[in-house]
């Protein structure tokens, strides 16, 4: 706990056997995490077996592979069932350091923000951490475009290291989001649509063989998906058009 608030870490897992335990040990070493939830998306390795032998871990296995976004939907539903006040997503591939958990959780526990992201761009860690040059350039161009369309000032939109308050998760209708990687950007769009501010903390990151990453082809598809989300957001905000499904659902949830 932190400031009397229950902290739950969720790990959307897929073939993470080589790094899961190391990530878990460092998560628990921070001393503020009450529970870890591992949602396995039909891994082909020993991810589930390892997770089931770790203390204070709830393991859920999907019967079919639901995709990165579909995995997160299950993660957040289970975290709320566990009574979480603060939910932090940590990828079990050890790409993002769990050592930032206390800092991210405290920003929410002290009611400064409801949404915190770990940024690979702040502090210049992306390239030094091994981010491929083409991915770095694409990140910068896409982020600049998204900031203009969303009317925001984030250093990046594509980090998978995130912390949320219970209030934020309960206020958004995530089931209308994509089951693929663009889920993350739809989540940001929903939060901004509802008027939530997003905090960022500088996050060292590591790229290595075991760290999950989408390939060039899927990165291009992801990039176009992110642009569609931002363009739909801008059209709704600037031109008063009917909101797209993932935003319209949240309009209905207000009532």
- Predicted confidence (pLDDT) per residue in 109-133, tens digit: 999 999 999 998 887 766 766 677 7
**Is 14 part of any domain?**
yes
Q: What is the pLDDT of residue 165?
A: 98
Q: Where are the alpha helices (DSSP H) in 54-196?
A: 67-81, 101-109, 125-128, 133-150, 166-171, 183-193
**Is 2 part of any domain?**
no
Question: Can you give the CATH number for the domain in which 37 is found?
Answer: 3.90.550.10
Query: Please, what is the angle between helix 183-193 and helix 67-81, to 10°?
Result: 50
**Is 200 part of any domain?**
yes
Give me the sheet containing 35-40, strands edge to edge: 57-61, 35-40, 7-13, 86-89, 162-165, 115-119, 198-202
**Is 166 part of any domain?**
yes
Q: What is the pLDDT of residue 32?
A: 97
* Spatial contact of 208 and 93, defined as CB atoms under 8 Å apart: no
**Is 67 part of any domain?**
yes
**Is 33 part of any domain?**
yes
pLDDT digits (tens, 9 = 90+) for 185-221: 999 999 999 999 999 999 887 665 555 555 667 778 8
Q: How many domains, in total, are found in the chain?
A: 1
Q: What is the pLDDT of residue 250?
A: 65
Distance (Å, rounded) from C-alpha 183 to C-alpha 167? 19
Q: What is the pLDDT of residue 241?
A: 67
**Exposed, middle or buried, 44 (CB in 10 Å: 0-12/13-18/19+)?**
exposed
- CB atoms inside a 10 Å sphere around CB 242: 10
**Is 1 part of any domain?**
no
Distance (Å, rounded) from C-alpha 227 to C-alpha 235? 12
Residues of the chain with pLDDT under 50: 255
| 37: containing domain | 7-253
Encode 137-169: b = buried (16+ Cβ within 10 Å), e = exposed: ebbeebbebbbebbebebbbbbbbbbbbbbebb
**Is 222 part of any domain?**
yes
């Amino acid at each position: 706990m932190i400031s009397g608030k229950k902290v739950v870490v969720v790990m959307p897992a897929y073939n993470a056997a080589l790094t899961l335990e190391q990530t878990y040990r460092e998560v628990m070493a921070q001393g503020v995490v009450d529970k870890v939830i591992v949602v396995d998306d039909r891994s082909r390795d020993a991810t589930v077996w390892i997770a089931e032998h770790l203390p204070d871990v709830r393991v859920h296995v999907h019967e079919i592979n639901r995709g990165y976004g579909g995995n997160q939907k299950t993660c957040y539903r289970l975290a709320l069932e566990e009574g979480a006040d603060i939910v932090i997503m940590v990828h079990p591939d050890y790409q993002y350091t769990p050592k930032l958990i206390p800092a991210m959780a405290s920003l929410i526990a002290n009611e400064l923000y409801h949404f915190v992201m770990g940024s690979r761009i702040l502090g210049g860690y992306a390239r030094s951490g091994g981010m491929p040059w083409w991915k770095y350039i694409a990140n910068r161009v896409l982020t600049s475009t998204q900031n203009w369309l969303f009317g925001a000032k984030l250093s990046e939109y594509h980090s998978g290291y995130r912390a949320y308050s219970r209030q934020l998760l309960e206020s958004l209708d995530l089931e209308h989001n994509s089951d693929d990687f663009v889920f993350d950007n739809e989540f940001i769009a929903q939060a901004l649509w509802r008027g939530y501010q997003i905090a960022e903390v500088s996050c060292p990151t590591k790229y290595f063989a075991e760290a999950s990453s989408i390939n060039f082809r899927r990165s291009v598809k992801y990039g176009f998906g992110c642009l569609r989300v931002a363009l739909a957001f801008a059209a709704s905000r600037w031109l008063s058009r009917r909101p797209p499904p993932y935003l319209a659902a949240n309009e209905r949830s207000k009532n």
